[in-house]
Amino acid sequence: MKNMFDSLRQIVLDVNDATGLEQALNIVVKRTREVMSVDAVSVYFRDKKTDQLVLMASDGLNQQAIGNIRFEQGQGLVGQVLDRAEPLNINDAHVHPNYRFVTETGEISLHGFLGVPIIQHRHVLGVLVVRRREKRLFSAVAETFLVTLAAQLAGAISYAEKMGELNSLIEGGNNHSFNMKGLSGSPGVAIGEAMVVFPPASLDAVPDNTISEDEIGEQIDAFNEAVNNVEREYRALSQRMEGAISNEELALFDVFALMLKSDSLIDVTIDRIKAGQWAQGALRETIAEHVRQFDAMEDAYLRERAIDIKDLGRRILTHLQAQQTNRQEITGPVVLVGEEVTVSQFAEVPLQYLVAIISSKGSSLSHVAILSHALGIPSVMGLDSLPVNRIKGQQIVVDGYSGKIFVKPSPAVLDEFHRLIREEQVLNTELKELIDKPSETLDGIHIPLHVNTGLLSDITPSLQSGAEGVGLYRTEIPFLMRDGFPGEEEQAQIYKQVLQGFAPRPVTFRTLDIGGDKALPYFPVVEDNPFLGWRGIRIMLDHPEIFLTQIRAILKVNIYQNNLRLMLPMISDVGEVDEAIGLIKKAHKELTDEGIDIPYPVIGLMIEVPSAVYQMEAFARRVEFFSVGSNDLTQYLLAVDRNNKQVAELYNCLHPSVLHSIQHIVEVAKKHDKPVSVCGEMAGDPGSALMLVGMGVDSLSMSVGSLLRVKLAIRSFTQTQIEQLCSTALAMESAGEIRLLFNEALENAGLGGLVRAGK
């Protein structure tokens, strides 16, 4: 039995390598028959058009029957497995009342029957059946094995199915377009050519190769040229990003360039070539040696550098192997495709050509999704069965609203999306006209709209969008771009530019919020449950030296228009507020004693932990404003990890419990005359933004790309209409109903274009 389970993983891996459904299912039946020592194994697959189960593959049954045996739902034993979505174990199938005898399969001598459903995301894809001559029930172990196998096969089978569909489409075998649904990353529609990004070449795969004396010179030249190319690449990348990211973020590229030119990399590799190893092998050895040294270091920050060295090595290798590579020319709109698209891959496409991003991993709160939001281009994440390596150069339609993509679209699909894109363009032009118009309801109630930022490069676009201030400055971003905690002066320089840039508009600085999924490379925090662990204010109170440095840096630049507001993240207890305020007072006193005459700051709290919701009274007596961090509040209230694709369907900021919590926050704050803002992604979604306004939230803060869309929504209703929608929503019992209510309200007001493709 042990062997049976040992084979399980290998079967799944083999199926994963299949290039189409037929091949995948043939592997399943053949390997299962071998492993379970049974007389026949078959797979019935659900035909999407007829909803019947079709015999698709078998080992042991008559091969002529394949494709010809069909069962309706509930019909025969196989139909019963589909119907009940449960295993069925029978000692003698022939005497079972539901048995439907079919002659074509040649199963007359087979009595024992064990059928299990193949289920993915609650949907039965097919049925896996094993048969044997003996009239005997299958053992509990056999049943467990088959259930375990089927559960793991579902993903691999649907991947193979997608791959097969795509192959036949690319080879011109059929003419209906291939489509898939993932998770909406950011809104918008686009059409472009797929550019696939991979992690660079694999160094470990480079073989040894001894060279002769007279090849040495040529190999050294090849190596030097590859190094120079990589250096040029870094320079070009950094130039391309200029203007899109700030100078400090750009400095990262210089660090790479320095590492590249170090003697320990160049000379050592050349020595190895001189000793008779070809350039690729010599490089592999040098990089491996460096990585071993870094891996062995005590210091976690230095250990992290091993990753950079590996990346550098792979880049040089890519150039060494360049003769065999065919780089994709960019001549028109590009859809960037990857298993996981990273920020540096983002930089490889000139921004004017980049129209959309799709990725097989990630969710709507992933870094790429947030970045695409800021750039105002659609993205679709979590396309987990996407055959990434097969779609290079294909035309792709991306609908960021519904999370759908169409590969090699049919003329009809293409026409439809061209029309939608034209409508989107009209909508975007109309939105631009709102920049200088006030954010107010039809009856003149003003709802200030602020931006969320953390990059210096965001200042100009934020101001140009008509934002009335910064509702959330994520101070951790400058900390992420460095090799160590930045000092007081260094921080002050950054904060000064933001405060000055936005003055007289208010700027809300959130104190360092690291931990959770935001780890600093030089301050690693390893925990089993990072989101329930050492995060935000908890780390700051344990490290007052880091907190005080930041507070001093922030306070001392508030010398222009007194437009600073200070906000504390991840507060879950009154004690934390008192301690943090104590430290802020200390920093203020120190600066005053040093002769720096600055005002005492306006202090507020993020309400993003459920326990904070119910301490609002105590907080309202201590601070001046509140901002709801709906991203975390939703994650903690619903117990749904905001980055986990598996449970992404459950993550919903319109869940009644989230709305009732926010309503409570607003009520208590109003009673104490303290303003409340919302700065999670929820505030940037037009329907949810109306809900928040209806509940009495005073201002909203969002990524710059959402600002005008939300403004249009607010300007299209009266306060009374919004409040009516809100009270209807608060009486509803599910997020789905509430979403529908707001979608309909926007659609009826002629604003359907804010929540779906088109105008």
Binding window for ligand PEP (CB under 6 A); candidates: 115-123, 544-552, 629-637, 718-726: 629-637
Q: Which is nearer to Mg ion, 384 or 632 (CB)?
A: 632
Residue environment code for 242-260, b if the CB has 16+ CB neighbours within 10 A, otherwise e = eeebbebbbebbeebbebb
> Can you tell me which residue has the tokens 């879950």?
572
Q: For 99, phi and psi rounded to 5 degrees?
A: -65, 135
Q: Which among ligand PEP, Mg ion, none contacts residue 394 (Cβ within 5 to 8 A by kind)?
A: none
Identify the DSSP state of 457. G
Catalytic residue selected from 319, 653, 655, 679: 679
For 326, residues 6+ apart whose C-beta sits below 8 A from its C-beta are none
Least Cβ distance, residue 195 to ligand PEP (angstroms) = 29
The string of DSSP codes covering 175-211 is -SPEEEE-EEEE--EEEEEEEEE-PPP-GGGPPP-B-
Residues between 479 and 538 with contacts to ligand PEP, criterion CB under 6 A: 513
Decide: is 629 part of the binding site for Mg ion (CB under 5 A).
yes
Among positions 169, 449, 557, 679, the unique one binding ligand PEP when judged by CB under 6 A: 679
Binding window for Mg ion (CB under 5 A); candidates: 97-105, 151-159, 204-212, 631-639: 631-639
Binding window for Mg ion (CB under 5 A); candidates: 68-76, 282-290, 361-369, 627-635: 627-635
Binding window for ligand PEP (CB under 6 A); candidates: 116-124, 210-218, 559-567, 626-634: 626-634
Dist CA 268 CA 562 (whole Å): 56
The string of DSSP codes covering 647-716 is GGGG--TT-HHHHHHHHHHHHHHHHTT--EEE-SGGGGSHHHHHHHHHTT--EEEE-GGGHHHHHHHHHT
Question: Among 404, 346, 374, 343, which Cα is nearest to 183's?
Answer: 404
**Residues 669, 391 contacting (CB under 8 angstroms):** no
Q: Which among ligand PEP, Mg ion, none contacts residue 26 (Cβ within 5 to 8 A by kind)?
A: none
The string of DSSP codes covering 62-80 is -GGGTTT-EE-TTSHHHHH
Dist CA 654 CA 4 (whole Å): 46
Binding window for ligand PEP (CB under 6 A); candidates: 344-352, 412-420, 627-635, 742-750: 627-635
Binding window for Mg ion (CB under 5 A); candidates: 351-359, 608-616, 669-677, 682-690: 608-616
**Contacts with ligand PEP, 16-55, as mask; x by CB under 6 A:** ----------------------------------------
Least Cβ distance, residue 650 to ligand PEP (angstroms) = 17
Among positions 290, 474, 556, 759, the unique one binding ligand PEP when judged by CB under 6 A: 474
**Residues 273, 216 contacting (CB under 8 angstroms):** yes
> Can you tell me which residue has the tokens 């078959």?
42
Question: Among 355, 504, 342, which Cα is nearest to 417's?
Answer: 355
Catalytic residue selected from 367, 543, 660, 664: 367
Decide: is 630 part of the binding site for ligand PEP (CB under 6 A).
yes
Dist CA 463 CA 473 (whole Å): 14
Least Cβ distance, residue 400 to Mg ion (angstroms) = 24
Q: For 66, phi and psi rounded to 5 degrees?
A: -65, 130
Identify the DSSP state of 601. P
* H or E element in which residue 529 lies: none
Least Cβ distance, residue 474 to ligand PEP (angstroms) = 6
Chain-centroid distance, C-alpha 177:
25
Dist CA 69 CA 63 (whole Å): 11
> Can you tell me which residue has the tokens 């900021």?
653
# residues contacting Mg ion (CB under 5 A): 3
Q: For 179, phi and psi rounded to 5 degrees?
A: -130, 160
Question: Among 732, 678, 731, which Cα is nearest to 706's?
Answer: 678
Tokens of 349: 């496409």
Q: Which among ligand PEP, Mg ion, none contacts residue 679 (Cβ within 5 to 8 A by kind)?
A: ligand PEP
Among positions 23, 631, 721, 724, the unique one binding ligand PEP when judged by CB under 6 A: 631
Binding window for ligand PEP (CB under 6 A); candidates: 155-163, 268-276, 373-381, 625-633: 625-633
Q: Which is nearer to Mg ion, 608 or 681 (CB)?
A: 608
> Is 367 considered catalytic here?
yes
Among positions 76, 200, 629, 705, the unique one binding ligand PEP when judged by CB under 6 A: 629
Least Cβ distance, residue 619 to ligand PEP (angstroms) = 17
Decide: is 193 part of the binding site for ligand PEP (CB under 6 A).
no
Q: Which among ligand PEP, Mg ion, none contacts residue 424 (Cβ within 5 to 8 A by kind)?
A: none
**Contacts with Mg ion, 553-592, as mask; x by CB under 5 A:** ----------------------------------------
Q: Which is nearer to ligand PEP, 631 or 724 (CB)?
A: 631
Q: Which is nearer to ligand PEP, 190 or 369 (CB)?
A: 369
Binding window for Mg ion (CB under 5 A); candidates: 121-129, 295-303, 388-396, 604-612: 604-612
Dist CA 229 CA 177 (whole Å): 40
Dist CA 212 CA 277 (whole Å): 9
> Can you tell me which residue has the tokens 């690693």?
524
Tokens of 113: 């029957």
Least Cβ distance, residue 548 to ligand PEP (angstroms) = 22
Q: Which among Mg ion, ligand PEP, none contacts residue 184 (Cβ within 5 to 8 A by kind)?
A: none
Decide: is 604 part of the binding site for ligand PEP (CB under 6 A).
no
Q: At what angle do helices 300-320 and 216-241 cross, to 10 degrees?
A: 110
Q: Which is nearer to ligand PEP, 46 or 510 (CB)?
A: 510
Least Cβ distance, residue 572 to Mg ion (angstroms) = 12
Least Cβ distance, residue 503 to ligand PEP (angstroms) = 23
Binding window for ligand PEP (CB under 6 A); candidates: 162-170, 234-242, 385-393, 623-631: 623-631
Amino acid at 21: L
Q: Which among ligand PEP, Mg ion, none contacts residue 458 (Cβ within 5 to 8 A by kind)?
A: none
Dist CA 590 CA 548 (whole Å): 10
Q: For 702, phi and psi rounded to 5 degrees?
A: -150, 175
Decide: is 76 part of the binding site for ligand PEP (CB under 6 A).
no
Q: What is the largest CA-CA distance in the chain?
A: 98
Decide: is 684 part of the binding site for ligand PEP (CB under 6 A).
no
Least Cβ distance, residue 250 to ligand PEP (angstroms) = 23
Q: Which among Mg ion, ligand PEP, none contacts residue 680 (Cβ within 5 to 8 A by kind)?
A: ligand PEP
Q: Which is nearer to ligand PEP, 43 or 640 (CB)?
A: 640
Decide: is 588 part of the binding site for ligand PEP (CB under 6 A).
no
Least Cβ distance, residue 523 to Mg ion (angstroms) = 18
Q: Which among Mg ion, ligand PEP, none contacts residue 474 (Cβ within 5 to 8 A by kind)?
A: ligand PEP
Decide: is 632 part of the binding site for ligand PEP (CB under 6 A).
yes
Q: Around Cβ 443, how many Cβ atoms within 10 Å?
A: 11
Question: Among 284, 305, 282, 287, which Cα is nearest to 295's?
Answer: 305
Among positions 187, 601, 680, 686, the unique one binding ligand PEP when judged by CB under 6 A: 680
Amino acid at 749: A
Do β-strands 183-186 and 70-71 pair in parallel, antiparallel, or remain unpaired? unpaired
Least Cβ distance, residue 703 to ligand PEP (angstroms) = 10
Least Cβ distance, residue 456 to ligand PEP (angstroms) = 18
Decide: is 608 part of the binding site for ligand PEP (CB under 6 A).
yes
Q: Is 384 exposed, middle or buried (0-12, 13-18, 19+ CB in 10 A)?
A: buried
> Can you tell me which residue has the tokens 């306060």?
719
For 173, residues 6+ apart whose C-beta sits below 8 A from its C-beta are 167
Positions in the binding site for ligand PEP (CB under 6 A): 472, 474, 513, 608, 629-632, 679-680
The residues annotated with a catalytic role in the active site are 367, 679
Positions in the binding site for Mg ion (CB under 5 A): 608, 629, 632
